[in-house]
Amino acid sequence: MSKPLSVGIAGLGTVGAGVAKLLRDNAGIIAARAGRPIVVTAVSSRDRAKDRGLAMAALRWHEDAVARAPDAAVDVVVEAIGGSEGPARSLVEATLAAGKPVVTANKALLALHGRALAALAEQHGVALGFEAAVAGGIPAIKALREGLAANQIRRVAGILNGTCNYILTEMRVRGLPFAEVLHQAQALGYAEADPSFDIDGVDAAHKLAILAALAFNRPVDFSELHVEGIRDISAVDIAMAEALGYRIKLLGIAERTDAGVSARVHPCMVPVDAPIARVDGVFNAVVAEGDAVGRVMLEGRGAGAGPTASAVVADLIDIARGRFSPVWGADTAALNAAVALPMHQHRGAYYLRLMVLDRPGVIADVTAVLRDAAISLESMLQRGRAPAGAVPVVLTTHECGEAAMQAALARLAALDSVLEKPALIRIETL
């Protein structure tokens, strides 16, 4: 068998330790598939004393992973530090510049600096593997970059954040309010102490930026994305969605049309019989639509030591075999510059929930605002009476423009009969 592939791991948290354990536990099958053994020979982490369930005595320990990036005894570096700046970015840049391949699960780094890192990898003729950066153990990167390489991809979308999917699932199944489920998710380790990146849609947007770049052979550009989270989703919205035949999911959606490319992350109502509506809990799903293959959907665990390590090791096996593709699926010179479409150009159907005074004439005022904005109603739902207080009124629309809808929302919020900020959720038919 050929010379072993020597791996250095920077960061021994959940991802880094998971990779080391998987390489140890499945060494035989990994060596057979890689054509040679893949062995960890060097590590770097802030805490040497922590018990990670791994034998570390025979490994070289690098106090400064960035300074040791050119280490000739290491063939490939796994960056498991995390973060879009600081040591993680410096390590990846230094390793690529030294002509050495890198494997990372760092979606923020790729989403924000992927253009420059891809150019650096191309300049030095080395691989930059990031299968683990999107959807954990789901092989979404390979599917887009390799399996669907012959297709013009029209749309790529999915449930890209397990924390949000868990929260929305528990709100629906158990009838609990957002704040209570979030606290539960934190107690279970599904959400961080500061959950902002998850619940505000940023984590999903990082992943969508990567998927969109691959799907449409464009340089990654995080600034093009429209991003909304799930903080404002209420138990009322969950219940009303069920009554209307929908479920609420936080989706990332990137589409290409003749006019250009759009990319957006926000809560969506999807029909209950859509396959993606049935993806619950901490699971992720990625849907791609190609001109030749049609629609393909992949589902699985999007985080955790095992799924993420599985994806990292898949990249290591490719490197051991000498297989690697351009970072964004094509050489830099072959990437296209399709126009990025702003959110106000979006067209679609909408769900609106208004908390209004229960008095005559309110519905007429609401429908007059929508009429003036040329927004056509599909349905209206009002349940219960509250003569001395507020009642929810839910409306769904036919397809209309985002700009018209936002203008109508501002007018609706200004009505004295509307007591709260109107809730808006876009309707999607994935």
Residues known to be catalytic: 207
The Cα 215–Cα 349 span in angstroms is 25
Task: Please answer whether residues 249 and 428 qualify as being in contact, where contact means their C-beta atoms are separated by less than 8 angstroms.
Answer: no
Per DSSP (E only), the strands in 366-421 are: 377-382, 390-397, 400-401
Residues 6+ apart with CB under 8 A from 385: 358, 391
**Alpha helices per DSSP H over 153-234:** 162-174, 178-187, 196-199, 202-216
Estimate to the nearest angstrom the gap between the alpha carbon of 213 and the chain centroid. Answer: 13
Q: Identify the CA nearest to 232 among candidates 178, 183, 186, 181.
A: 178
Tell me the pairing of strands 260-271 and 246-257: antiparallel
**83 — alpha (psi -120 to 50), left (phi > 0) or beta?**
left
The Cα 228–Cα 346 span in angstroms is 15
Long-range contacts of 369-374 (CB under 8 A, 24+ apart): 369/408, 369/411, 369/412, 369/415, 370/395, 370/397, 370/408, 372/408, 372/411, 373/400, 373/404, 373/405, 373/407, 373/408, 373/411, 374/400, 374/404
Instruction: Classify residue 73 as exposed, middle or buried by CB count within 10 Å of its CB (0-12, 13-18, 19+).
Output: exposed
Per DSSP (E only), the strands in 202-332 are: 226-227, 246-257, 260-271, 283-290, 294-301
The Cα 81–Cα 143 span in angstroms is 26
